[in-house]
Chain A
Amino acid sequence: MKEYAIGFGINRYLSYSRLLIKSSFAYKTDFAIKLLLRIANPIIMLFVWTAIYSATHTSAINNFSLYQISIYFFIIAVVNSVAPSVSWAMAGDVRSGGVFTSLTRPIRYVSNVFTADATGMLVDTLTLGLPIFILLYFFLHLNLTLLSASLFLLSMGMMYAIAMMIEFLLGFFSFFTTDIGGIINMAYFIISFFGGGFVPLNLLPPSIAHISSVLPFQFMIYFPASILTGAVSPSQLFSMFPLAALWFVALLAANFVIWSRVRRHIDAVGV
């Protein structure tokens, strides 16, 4: 028997990922319900905004047409399907004792949580994100070019990286307080508000839009959702890269600091 494995051990995480994929297909009706719920939200927004546009007798609000706004909310549904949700997973682990099980195996807890989320992202992209995208392409006649598709994928990568960092920070709270459901929901509200989840950022009052422009939340919703509407140009997206990178590095550093505090906290009060 092998004594110790010092290497990266990627196969161990891939095997875990395979197991999670199998596990997620155990209840297939769940996918259908999730898909319906994901589509319901943009459809409701479509009704609301159709009413607003017809009541105001205008074809564009702040350069946003009704067509663009419809695309915008459908893309948000795609973004939400792909977005990480490690905070809920970690809260569940703390409650169920999953953390204890992970820490008694030759694996790193944080890597294991990341593996589980990346697997979930893959499954949700295929079962939720892709069907919504296909719907969007064929029914709303989405204008997709190689450049816009590449930029969209790039912005989705940016969204996933920053959202993952924020999710981990939220998840670490579960080690300090028993129930973090309220904290997560409050954080999601703030992210949605300043990230353009309720209305596109360029429709917000200038003062709020200004605050939003320096926060990381815009990279989590507004940018990926706007690329395909044409509201954000490639040059605008590229100009935002340094800010996104800065936020990513800052959040990553915060994660390292908090995780070492979590380890100390586990040591101080148990797990």
Chain B
Amino acid sequence: MEYAIAVERLSKDFRTYKTEHGKKVFLASLRRKYYMKKALRNVSFVVKKGEIVMLLGENGSGKSTLIKTLVGILHPDSGEVRVLGMDPWKERIKIAWNYGMVSGAHGTLFNDLPAIDTFEYVRDLYEIPRPEFRKRLAYFIRILNLKDVYKKQVRTMSMGERMKCNFIASVLHLPKVVFMDEATIGMDLPSVINLREAILDMQKKYSTTFFMTTHIVDEVKALARRVIIIDRGRVVFDGNKTELLGLYGNKKYFEISFSKQPKIRLGRYGKVVSRGKGYVKLEIDPHIIRTHKINTLLNDRHVLDYNISDPDLSSVLVRFYKTKRKVV
């Protein structure tokens, strides 16, 4: 099977320098102390065509370096990278015809002009026939709810409008693979939802592969079935969301509100994870619910309300980042 992205034992080191603070800044700027940073270490994974994969990791974990290597800006020190069967470093321009890059940090729009001017430039850049361009533009304008907005000067647009237009400018050529590097930074919720809809629609309609980095947990929940977590340059998790959620055992959260602290010792039902005035959150084993052991607590006259929920992705991720657990 031909993969959209195939990475095999990829490693990449960087030469960087130590930044100082306070009084040492001046001296440090005169004599920089360089050191080698292992940005990527033995990274291996494959992404199937039409898959949406979220690349997660803390700041400085190697996410952006990985994307830069996948688009051919950086050369691997060792290992092999293939995007649509091509070597991105050797065939940077050739491969650029077939992917789109959406970056939250680097816009592609011309600020002094309406977004339509950039779209027309993209049309010429990727040699999109005019009728096809009009068709595609109408599709993106509709799905991203940008009617009339794209005729406004980019400088006067809201952050959400600008990011959506930036997305259009990066995908108008209907690339087979779209790389998105924290592309929803600063966007308002309606715009984020529009963008998610566009991503899912593109995946369904054109079988586009999306390889995305984000720190927004809702985005992972809404878009990705598969998650790759990278920590200090190593892949520490590669699996689906359900596996990630079940990583710390099959636990549930049990939240109780009460008028007065129940006399029963709460610790016997599970681990107290948070506590407030008239409120407590427990991490419990589901068998406590199944075996009705919890009923004793629920029948306590001081209990006002309760809620049982699955572990939420953000708490799993926070725990994961803290423990740096290697599972692959």
Asked if A268 meets B15 with Cβ closer than 8 Å, knowing A5-B97, A97-B105, A103-B92, the reply is yes
In the complex the two chains form, is B121's CB within 8 Å of A269's CB? no
In the complex the two chains form, is A101's CB within 8 Å of B106's CB? yes
Minimum CB–CB distance from B73 to chain A (whole Å) comes to: 5
B14 partner, pick from A1, A104, A269, beta carbons under 8 A? A269
Assembly CA distance A18 to B110 (angstroms): 12
B103 at the binding interface (Cβ < 8 Å): yes
In the complex the two chains form, is A270's CB within 8 Å of B74's CB? yes
In the complex the two chains form, is A1's CB within 8 Å of B125's CB? no
- How many chain A residues have a CB neighbour from B under 8 Å? 34
A16 at the binding interface (Cβ < 8 Å): yes
B101 at the binding interface (Cβ < 8 Å): yes
Contact stretch, chosen from A19-27, A80-88, A151-159, A214-222: A19-27
Assembly CA distance A267 to B74 (angstroms): 5
In the complex the two chains form, is B73's CB within 8 Å of A103's CB? yes
In the complex the two chains form, is A15's CB within 8 Å of B75's CB? no
Interfacial chain A residues near B75, Cβ < 8 Å: 267
A43 at the binding interface (Cβ < 8 Å): no
In the complex the two chains form, is A23's CB within 8 Å of B110's CB? yes
A238 at the binding interface (Cβ < 8 Å): no
Interface membership of chain B positions 12-47, coded 1 if the CB is closer than 8 angstroms to chain A and 0 otherwise: 001110000000000000000000000000000000
Assembly CA distance A98 to B74 (angstroms): 16
Interfacial chain B residues near A27, Cβ < 8 Å: 112
Asked if A19 meets B110 with Cβ closer than 8 Å, knowing A268-B14, A270-B65, the reply is yes
Interface membership of chain B positions 93-135, coded 1 if the CB is closer than 8 angstroms to chain A and 0 otherwise: 1101111010101111010110001101100111110000000
B173 at the binding interface (Cβ < 8 Å): yes
Assembly CA distance A23 to B108 (angstroms): 14
Minimum CB–CB distance from B252 to chain A (whole Å) comes to: 43
Interfacial chain B residues near A18, Cβ < 8 Å: 121
A11 at the binding interface (Cβ < 8 Å): yes
A2 at the binding interface (Cβ < 8 Å): yes
In the complex the two chains form, is B125's CB within 8 Å of A15's CB? yes
**Residue in chain A with minimal CB distance to B96:** A106
Interfacial chain B residues near A11, Cβ < 8 Å: 124, 127
The B-contacting residues of A in range 1-40, CB under 8 angstroms, are: 1-6, 11-12, 14-16, 18-19, 22-23, 26-27
**Residue in chain B with minimal CB distance to A14:** B124
Assembly CA distance A268 to B65 (angstroms): 11
Assembly CA distance A12 to B101 (angstroms): 18
B241 at the binding interface (Cβ < 8 Å): no
A183 at the binding interface (Cβ < 8 Å): no
Interfacial chain A residues near B112, Cβ < 8 Å: 23, 26-27
B93 partner, pick from A14, A96, A108, beta carbons under 8 A? A108
Interface membership of chain B positions 144-165, coded 1 if the CB is closer than 8 angstroms to chain A and 0 otherwise: 0000000001000000000000
13 extra A-B contacts, CB within 8 A, seeds A4-B94, A6-B94, A101-B103: A1-B173, A5-B97, A11-B127, A15-B125, A18-B121, A19-B110, A22-B113, A23-B110, A100-B106, A101-B108, A105-B125, A106-B125, A107-B125
List the interface of chain A (C-beta within 8 A of B): 1-6, 11-12, 14-16, 18-19, 22-23, 26-27, 96-98, 100-101, 103-108, 266-271
14 A-B pairs in the complex with CB atoms less than 8 angstroms apart? A2-B127, A3-B98, A4-B97, A16-B125, A18-B121, A19-B118, A23-B117, A26-B113, A100-B73, A100-B103, A105-B96, A107-B125, A267-B75, A271-B68
